[in-house]
Amino acid sequence: MHNPVIVVRFVFFALLVYLNVLTLVASAINIGVTKSSGISVPGASVFVLVNSCLFFVAVVGAFAELVTTRIKSAQVAVECSWTLILSVLQLAASLDVTVNGPPLFCRADAPVAVCASSYLLMPTTWLASVTLLAYFFSLVIISVVHMHSHQGIWWSSIYQVAWFTPPSRSPLQPIPRSRQSHSPNYANRNPSWVPSWIDPLSATSGGQEDKTRPFTIDLQIPRALPTDVEKQPRSTGPILFHRQSRVEHVERPEWANQAQTRRGLDAPFAVVRNNTPTPPPPPVPPKTYYPHPTSSDSDSNSSHHTVTFGAVDKGKRRQYAKSGESEWRSMFPQGVQNEDEPIPLPSLSEWMRVESGIENRTVSGSRTGPR
């Protein structure tokens, strides 16, 4: 398929050739009629005739490169130059025909043929000049837009420029060094994504790759595969999203390599149950006895003594409280309830069954206890 700029160029030139042919014929008729009428030949008609001939010569030169490549007449800068010059000349000729045409030759005593030929010359010259000027501006704007993506576009042939197509890197062109240093190494990060020119077994071995070869990714994904992952055929090489690929050197944890999980069917982190009994809970640390230091003890020795008891019953605790020599202290702070002891009952409370509370709803508040 041809580039749209080349197609539009052919359309513009076809329209310009048609308009300049009409202009050439109209100017020739006007010159012949004025001569036959004994009137001096108008300069505007001669100017229009010369411009039309110059345009035909320029069009032949613009298409000469299609015949031979030795002639560089279709360069963008050359075509912009001659279209600008001819559009300015044709615009000046149109103004000359408008000013010195019908106002001079369409009088009461003037021949009708001279007036009609001058009126016929006006629209054709204006259409030709405006069309050529529009083509010039279009070509300049499109070339300016492509300056950054296509270097040297002004001195390139208009047939060789890839209009409205981003430049593609040649497959034999090496990657610049600056891009190689900053680009991520996909072979070291994930050997499943291995360039087609790298051996999969040596992808992570740290070998020297051939940096002059292009970096292309070979996914190797078959087109007609079953939708179920487990039903896909086994592959002999590293492919993407395969349940058991041959890349065993992937940096994966040990439990992931030993797992036999079916993707899409089993839970990814299933709990493995065994017959090993659960270990017993750790024993509760023993309670500590902190004796109060007396005056004699403080004088002789200012340090505290710590005595550890395995178990002390309530009788001994009361004995220590009555003697006043020492005080039993728990390992918990004073404001924290000891969770190892049962809930103490108040003096005026007792346990009761739920049925008794339902049958006798007038039980006093002093006899109600925790339920």
| Assigned domain for 138 exists | yes
Kindly state whether residue 260 falls inside one of the protein's structural domains.
no
Long-range CB contacts (< 8 A, 24+ apart) of 136-145? 136/80, 136/83, 136/84, 136/87, 138/8, 138/12, 139/76, 139/79, 139/80, 139/83, 140/80, 142/5, 143/76, 143/80
Q: What is the pLDDT of residues 87-101, one digit of tens each?
A: 999 999 999 999 888
For residue 289, the Cα-to-chain-centroid distance in whole angstroms is: 71
Q: What is the pLDDT of residues 5-18, one digit of tens each?
A: 889 999 999 999 99
Structural domain boundaries enclosing 24: 4-145
Which of these three, 145, 163, 184, is where a domain ends? 145
Which residue has 């000013």 as its token pair?
Answer: 99
Is residue 29 a part of any domain in this protein?
Answer: yes
pLDDT along the chain (371 residues), means of 10: 83 94 92 86 89 94 85 87 94 91 80 86 93 94 87 85 70 50 48 49 48 52 49 48 47 75 74 68 65 49 45 49 50 64 72 70 51 46
Going by C-alpha positions, the residue among 94, 154, 144 that lies closest to residue 124 is 94
Q: Identify whether 278 is part of a domain.
A: no
- Please give the tally of structural domains in the chain: 2
Does residue 320 belong to any structural domain of this protein? yes
Q: What is the pTM of this model?
A: 0.45
| Two structure tokens written together for 107 | 């009088």
- pLDDT for the residue 89: 94
The pLDDT of residue 239: 42
For the chain, percent of residues with pLDDT exceeding 70: 54
Q: What pLDDT score was predicted for residue 326?
A: 47
**Contacts for 32-35 with beta carbons within 8 Å, 24 or more apart?**
33/111, 33/113, 33/114, 33/117, 34/105, 34/114, 34/117
Is there a domain that residue 127 lies in?
Answer: yes
| Final residue in a domain of this structure, among 93, 126, 145 | 145
In a domain, 366, yes or no: no
Contact predicate 242/232, CB 8 Å: yes
In a domain, 232, yes or no: no
